[in-house]
Amino acid sequence: MPAIIDKISQAIHPSASRAESTSAKPVFDHTKVSVVFVLGGPGAGKGTQCARLVNDFGFCHLSAGDLLRAEQQREGSEYGTLIQTCIKEGTIVPMEVTIKLLENAMRAAMNEGRGGDGWLDGKGRFLIDGFPRKMDQALKFEETVCLSSLVLFYSTTEEVMSSRLVERGKTSGREDDNADSIKKRFHTYKSDTMPVIQHYAALGKVAEIDSSGTVEDVHQRTNVVISELLTTGKYTGK
Ligand SMILES: Nc1ncnc2c1ncn2[C@@H]1O[C@H](COP(=O)(O)OP(=O)(O)OP(=O)(O)O)[C@@H](O)[C@H]1O
Ligand SMILES: O=c1ccn([C@@H]2O[C@H](COP(=O)(O)O)[C@@H](O)[C@H]2O)c(=O)[nH]1
Protein backbone atom coordinates (compact mmCIF):
# COMPACT_ATOMS: atom_id res chain seq x y z
CA MET A 1 0.00 0.00 0.00
CA PRO A 2 1.53 3.37 -0.93
CA ALA A 3 2.68 5.49 2.01
CA ILE A 4 0.11 8.26 1.49
CA ILE A 5 -2.76 5.75 1.55
CA ASP A 6 -1.35 4.12 4.68
CA LYS A 7 -1.19 7.56 6.24
CA ILE A 8 -4.83 8.27 5.40
CA SER A 9 -5.94 4.90 6.82
CA GLN A 10 -4.00 5.34 10.02
CA ALA A 11 -5.23 8.89 10.52
CA ILE A 12 -8.87 7.91 10.15
CA HIS A 13 -8.59 4.73 12.14
CA PRO A 14 -5.40 4.79 14.20
CA SER A 15 -6.16 1.43 15.85
CA ALA A 16 -6.37 -0.42 12.52
CA SER A 17 -3.28 -2.51 12.07
CA ARG A 18 -1.47 -2.57 8.78
CA ALA A 19 -2.14 -6.31 8.49
CA GLU A 20 -5.87 -5.70 8.92
CA SER A 21 -6.14 -3.16 6.14
CA THR A 22 -4.05 -5.18 3.69
CA SER A 23 -5.46 -8.63 4.46
CA ALA A 24 -6.55 -10.63 1.43
CA LYS A 25 -9.94 -11.47 2.91
CA PRO A 26 -12.69 -8.86 3.33
CA VAL A 27 -13.20 -7.77 6.94
CA PHE A 28 -16.86 -8.93 6.96
CA ASP A 29 -18.21 -12.26 5.79
CA HIS A 30 -20.94 -11.56 3.21
CA THR A 31 -22.78 -14.75 4.15
CA LYS A 32 -23.49 -13.14 7.51
CA VAL A 33 -23.36 -9.44 6.74
CA SER A 34 -25.65 -8.15 3.98
CA VAL A 35 -24.51 -5.05 2.19
CA VAL A 36 -26.97 -3.31 -0.13
CA PHE A 37 -25.50 -0.46 -2.13
CA VAL A 38 -28.00 2.34 -2.79
CA LEU A 39 -27.31 4.30 -5.94
CA GLY A 40 -29.05 6.82 -8.19
CA GLY A 41 -28.47 10.38 -9.28
CA PRO A 42 -28.27 13.31 -6.89
CA GLY A 43 -31.75 13.90 -5.46
CA ALA A 44 -33.19 10.62 -6.76
CA GLY A 45 -34.53 9.89 -3.27
CA LYS A 46 -31.95 7.45 -1.89
CA GLY A 47 -31.78 8.84 1.64
CA THR A 48 -35.56 9.15 1.88
CA GLN A 49 -36.07 5.50 0.98
CA CYS A 50 -33.23 4.30 3.21
CA ALA A 51 -34.95 5.87 6.22
CA ARG A 52 -38.05 3.79 5.42
CA LEU A 53 -36.03 0.60 5.05
CA VAL A 54 -34.42 1.15 8.43
CA ASN A 55 -37.89 1.16 9.99
CA ASP A 56 -39.24 -1.76 7.99
CA PHE A 57 -36.30 -4.15 8.02
CA GLY A 58 -33.88 -3.03 10.75
CA PHE A 59 -31.08 -2.03 8.39
CA CYS A 60 -28.20 0.12 9.55
CA HIS A 61 -28.18 3.06 7.13
CA LEU A 62 -24.74 4.48 6.32
CA SER A 63 -24.69 7.44 3.96
CA ALA A 64 -21.20 7.93 2.53
CA GLY A 65 -21.99 11.63 2.02
CA ASP A 66 -23.07 12.04 5.65
CA LEU A 67 -19.92 10.27 6.89
CA LEU A 68 -17.79 12.57 4.75
CA ARG A 69 -19.63 15.68 5.98
CA ALA A 70 -19.10 14.52 9.59
CA GLU A 71 -15.40 13.93 8.92
CA GLN A 72 -15.21 17.38 7.32
CA GLN A 73 -16.62 18.91 10.52
CA ARG A 74 -14.52 16.80 12.89
CA GLU A 75 -12.09 18.95 14.80
CA GLY A 76 -8.56 18.07 13.85
CA SER A 77 -9.44 16.23 10.67
CA GLU A 78 -6.72 16.68 8.11
CA TYR A 79 -9.19 15.97 5.32
CA GLY A 80 -11.67 18.75 6.09
CA THR A 81 -10.62 21.07 3.30
CA LEU A 82 -10.19 18.27 0.78
CA ILE A 83 -13.67 16.91 1.52
CA GLN A 84 -15.25 20.36 1.44
CA THR A 85 -13.73 21.12 -1.97
CA CYS A 86 -14.78 17.76 -3.44
CA ILE A 87 -18.35 18.15 -2.18
CA LYS A 88 -18.71 21.68 -3.54
CA GLU A 89 -17.20 20.67 -6.89
CA GLY A 90 -19.24 17.46 -7.04
CA THR A 91 -16.09 15.38 -7.37
CA ILE A 92 -15.21 12.19 -5.55
CA VAL A 93 -13.10 12.13 -2.41
CA PRO A 94 -10.14 9.69 -2.63
CA MET A 95 -11.54 6.24 -2.01
CA GLU A 96 -9.27 5.38 0.93
CA VAL A 97 -10.92 8.08 3.04
CA THR A 98 -14.51 7.01 2.29
CA ILE A 99 -13.86 3.27 2.54
CA LYS A 100 -12.16 3.65 5.92
CA LEU A 101 -15.04 5.76 7.23
CA LEU A 102 -17.52 3.13 6.06
CA GLU A 103 -15.51 0.25 7.50
CA ASN A 104 -15.26 2.02 10.87
CA ALA A 105 -18.99 2.74 10.92
CA MET A 106 -19.79 -0.87 10.04
CA ARG A 107 -17.53 -2.15 12.83
CA ALA A 108 -19.20 0.21 15.30
CA ALA A 109 -22.67 -1.00 14.27
CA MET A 110 -21.63 -4.66 14.50
CA ASN A 111 -20.27 -4.03 18.01
CA GLU A 112 -23.41 -2.22 19.20
CA GLY A 113 -25.22 -5.46 19.98
CA ARG A 114 -28.28 -4.57 17.95
CA GLY A 115 -31.27 -6.86 18.30
CA GLY A 116 -33.69 -8.23 15.75
CA ASP A 117 -33.53 -10.94 13.12
CA GLY A 118 -30.89 -9.33 10.98
CA TRP A 119 -28.43 -8.88 13.83
CA LEU A 120 -28.29 -12.14 15.74
CA ASP A 121 -25.32 -14.53 15.84
CA GLY A 122 -22.83 -12.23 14.18
CA LYS A 123 -25.20 -11.20 11.41
CA GLY A 124 -25.75 -7.64 10.17
CA ARG A 125 -27.53 -5.74 7.41
CA PHE A 126 -26.37 -2.46 5.93
CA LEU A 127 -27.64 0.06 3.42
CA ILE A 128 -24.61 1.84 2.01
CA ASP A 129 -26.16 4.97 0.52
CA GLY A 130 -24.45 6.99 -2.22
CA PHE A 131 -21.58 4.54 -2.57
CA PRO A 132 -19.74 3.20 -4.58
CA ARG A 133 -19.66 6.27 -6.78
CA LYS A 134 -16.75 5.09 -8.90
CA MET A 135 -15.40 1.70 -10.07
CA ASP A 136 -12.22 1.88 -7.99
CA GLN A 137 -14.30 2.28 -4.82
CA ALA A 138 -16.55 -0.63 -5.74
CA LEU A 139 -13.67 -3.02 -6.34
CA LYS A 140 -11.67 -1.97 -3.30
CA PHE A 141 -14.62 -2.06 -0.92
CA GLU A 142 -15.63 -5.55 -2.00
CA GLU A 143 -12.05 -6.79 -1.85
CA THR A 144 -11.28 -5.39 1.59
CA VAL A 145 -14.53 -4.75 3.47
CA CYS A 146 -17.48 -6.85 2.28
CA LEU A 147 -19.00 -8.30 -0.86
CA SER A 148 -22.33 -6.68 -1.72
CA SER A 149 -25.63 -8.55 -2.09
CA LEU A 150 -27.51 -6.07 -4.25
CA VAL A 151 -27.57 -2.60 -5.75
CA LEU A 152 -30.80 -0.65 -5.32
CA PHE A 153 -30.80 1.78 -8.21
CA TYR A 154 -33.24 4.69 -7.99
CA SER A 155 -33.82 6.19 -11.41
CA THR A 156 -35.73 9.25 -12.54
CA THR A 157 -35.21 12.19 -14.86
CA GLU A 158 -32.66 14.92 -14.38
CA GLU A 159 -35.54 17.43 -14.25
CA VAL A 160 -37.15 15.63 -11.30
CA MET A 161 -33.83 15.27 -9.45
CA SER A 162 -32.88 18.87 -10.11
CA SER A 163 -36.16 20.29 -8.87
CA ARG A 164 -35.99 18.13 -5.72
CA LEU A 165 -32.47 19.37 -4.99
CA VAL A 166 -33.36 23.01 -5.56
CA GLU A 167 -36.31 22.59 -3.19
CA ARG A 168 -34.15 20.79 -0.61
CA GLY A 169 -31.53 23.53 -0.95
CA LYS A 170 -33.96 26.07 0.56
CA THR A 171 -33.52 24.43 3.97
CA SER A 172 -30.74 21.82 3.82
CA GLY A 173 -27.79 24.12 4.36
CA ARG A 174 -25.81 21.82 2.06
CA GLU A 175 -23.02 23.54 0.17
CA ASP A 176 -23.80 21.51 -2.94
CA ASP A 177 -27.56 22.08 -3.25
CA ASN A 178 -27.09 25.01 -5.62
CA ALA A 179 -27.33 25.26 -9.43
CA ASP A 180 -23.58 25.26 -10.04
CA SER A 181 -22.78 22.27 -7.80
CA ILE A 182 -25.86 20.35 -8.98
CA LYS A 183 -24.64 20.62 -12.60
CA LYS A 184 -21.22 19.29 -11.59
CA ARG A 185 -22.75 16.46 -9.54
CA PHE A 186 -24.79 15.31 -12.54
CA HIS A 187 -21.63 15.31 -14.64
CA THR A 188 -19.76 13.12 -12.12
CA TYR A 189 -22.78 10.85 -11.80
CA LYS A 190 -22.84 10.20 -15.55
CA SER A 191 -19.09 9.84 -16.02
CA ASP A 192 -18.16 7.86 -12.89
CA THR A 193 -21.23 6.34 -11.24
CA MET A 194 -23.21 5.08 -14.23
CA PRO A 195 -20.35 2.68 -15.11
CA VAL A 196 -20.60 1.23 -11.58
CA ILE A 197 -24.32 0.58 -12.07
CA GLN A 198 -23.61 -0.99 -15.47
CA HIS A 199 -20.93 -3.19 -13.90
CA TYR A 200 -23.33 -4.57 -11.29
CA ALA A 201 -26.15 -4.86 -13.85
CA ALA A 202 -23.92 -7.13 -15.92
CA LEU A 203 -23.53 -9.30 -12.79
CA GLY A 204 -27.34 -9.42 -12.36
CA LYS A 205 -27.12 -7.56 -9.05
CA VAL A 206 -29.14 -4.41 -9.83
CA ALA A 207 -32.77 -3.78 -8.86
CA GLU A 208 -33.82 -0.64 -10.73
CA ILE A 209 -36.67 1.27 -9.16
CA ASP A 210 -38.39 4.21 -10.79
CA SER A 211 -38.29 6.94 -8.16
CA SER A 212 -40.41 9.49 -10.05
CA GLY A 213 -43.59 8.76 -8.07
CA THR A 214 -44.58 9.60 -4.55
CA VAL A 215 -42.39 8.58 -1.62
CA GLU A 216 -45.00 5.97 -0.70
CA ASP A 217 -45.12 4.44 -4.24
CA VAL A 218 -41.35 4.17 -4.35
CA HIS A 219 -41.31 2.73 -0.85
CA GLN A 220 -43.76 -0.01 -1.79
CA ARG A 221 -41.75 -0.98 -4.86
CA THR A 222 -38.59 -1.06 -2.78
CA ASN A 223 -40.15 -3.26 -0.13
CA VAL A 224 -41.00 -5.93 -2.71
CA VAL A 225 -37.33 -6.09 -3.71
CA ILE A 226 -35.93 -6.12 -0.18
CA SER A 227 -38.47 -8.66 1.07
CA GLU A 228 -37.37 -11.06 -1.64
CA LEU A 229 -33.69 -10.44 -0.91
CA LEU A 230 -34.04 -11.03 2.82
CA THR A 231 -36.33 -14.04 2.47
CA THR A 232 -34.50 -15.94 -0.26
CA GLY A 233 -31.01 -14.46 0.02
CA LYS A 234 -31.19 -13.09 -3.51
CA TYR A 235 -33.18 -10.86 -5.82
CA THR A 236 -34.35 -12.40 -9.07
CA GLY A 237 -36.30 -9.48 -10.51
CA LYS A 238 -39.31 -11.72 -11.25
N1 LIG B 1 -40.59 10.35 -4.21
C2 LIG B 1 -40.37 11.62 -3.88
N3 LIG B 1 -41.24 12.58 -4.26
C4 LIG B 1 -41.02 13.88 -3.95
N5 LIG B 1 -39.96 14.33 -3.25
C6 LIG B 1 -39.07 13.42 -2.84
C7 LIG B 1 -39.21 12.03 -3.14
N8 LIG B 1 -38.16 11.37 -2.60
C9 LIG B 1 -37.39 12.30 -2.02
N10 LIG B 1 -37.93 13.52 -2.14
C11 LIG B 1 -37.36 14.78 -1.67
O12 LIG B 1 -36.31 15.11 -2.58
C13 LIG B 1 -35.17 15.59 -1.90
C14 LIG B 1 -34.00 14.66 -2.21
O15 LIG B 1 -34.26 13.40 -1.60
P16 LIG B 1 -33.11 12.57 -0.90
O17 LIG B 1 -32.36 13.45 0.02
O18 LIG B 1 -33.73 11.35 -0.36
O19 LIG B 1 -32.25 12.24 -2.21
P20 LIG B 1 -30.83 11.58 -2.35
O21 LIG B 1 -30.87 10.72 -3.55
O22 LIG B 1 -30.43 10.95 -1.07
O23 LIG B 1 -29.96 12.87 -2.62
P24 LIG B 1 -28.38 13.11 -2.49
O25 LIG B 1 -27.71 12.10 -3.32
O26 LIG B 1 -28.20 14.48 -3.02
O27 LIG B 1 -28.03 13.02 -1.05
C28 LIG B 1 -35.54 15.64 -0.44
O29 LIG B 1 -35.91 16.96 -0.12
C30 LIG B 1 -36.72 14.68 -0.31
O31 LIG B 1 -37.61 15.07 0.71
O1 LIG C 1 -18.53 7.76 -1.89
C2 LIG C 1 -18.69 9.00 -1.91
C3 LIG C 1 -19.89 9.61 -1.57
C4 LIG C 1 -20.00 10.98 -1.60
N5 LIG C 1 -18.93 11.73 -1.95
C6 LIG C 1 -18.98 13.21 -1.97
O7 LIG C 1 -20.07 13.67 -1.16
C8 LIG C 1 -20.96 14.43 -1.95
C9 LIG C 1 -22.34 14.34 -1.41
O10 LIG C 1 -22.79 13.00 -1.44
P11 LIG C 1 -24.35 12.66 -1.19
O12 LIG C 1 -24.46 11.18 -1.38
O13 LIG C 1 -25.12 13.42 -2.20
O14 LIG C 1 -24.66 13.08 0.20
C15 LIG C 1 -20.75 13.92 -3.37
O16 LIG C 1 -21.17 14.81 -4.38
C17 LIG C 1 -19.23 13.73 -3.37
O18 LIG C 1 -18.57 14.95 -3.52
C19 LIG C 1 -17.75 11.12 -2.29
O20 LIG C 1 -16.75 11.80 -2.62
N21 LIG C 1 -17.65 9.76 -2.25
List per-residue pLDDT tens for the chain, 238 residues long: 344 444 554 545 544 444 444 557 999 999 999 999 999 999 999 999 999 999 999 999 999 999 999 999 999 999 999 999 999 999 999 999 999 999 999 999 999 989 898 999 999 999 999 999 999 999 999 999 999 999 999 999 999 999 999 999 999 999 999 999 999 999 999 999 999 999 999 999 999 999 999 999 999 999 999 999 999 988 887 6
Q: Which residue's CA is minimally distant from atom 23 of ligand 1?
A: 43
CA of 24 to the centre of ligand 1 (A): 37
- pTM over 0.95? The answer is no
45 known member of a binding site:
yes
Q: Is the minimum distance from the CB of 130 to ligand 2 under 6 angstroms? A: yes
| ipTM for the whole complex | 0.99
| pLDDT confidence of residue 236 | 87
Contact indicator for 20, 29 with CB cutoff of 8 Å: no
Q: Which residue's CA is minimally distant from atom 8 of ligand 1?
A: 45
Nearest-angstrom CA–CA distance, 216 and 148: 26
Q: Domains along the chain?
A: 2-9+30-232 (3.40.50.300)
CB atoms < 10 A from the CB of 90, how many? 18
- Ligand 2 pocket check: which of 37, 50, 68 to mutate, most ligand atoms within 8 Å of Cβ? 68
Return phi, psi of residue 192, to 5°. -110, -35
CA of 129 to the centre of ligand 2 (A): 10
**Taking Cα atoms as reference points, which of 2, 5, 12 lies closest to residue 100?**
12
CA of 130 to the centre of ligand 2 (A): 7
Nearest-angstrom CA–CA distance, 121 and 232: 19
The single-letter DSSP state of residue 117 is G
- Ligand 1 pocket check: which of 48, 129, 217 to mutate, most ligand atoms within 8 Å of Cβ? 48
| pLDDT confidence of residue 117 | 86
Burial 152-191 (b: 16+ CB within 10 A, else e): bbbbbeeebbbebbeeebeeeeeebbeeebbebbbebbee
| pLDDT confidence of residue 237 | 79
Contact indicator for 139, 74 with CB cutoff of 8 Å: no
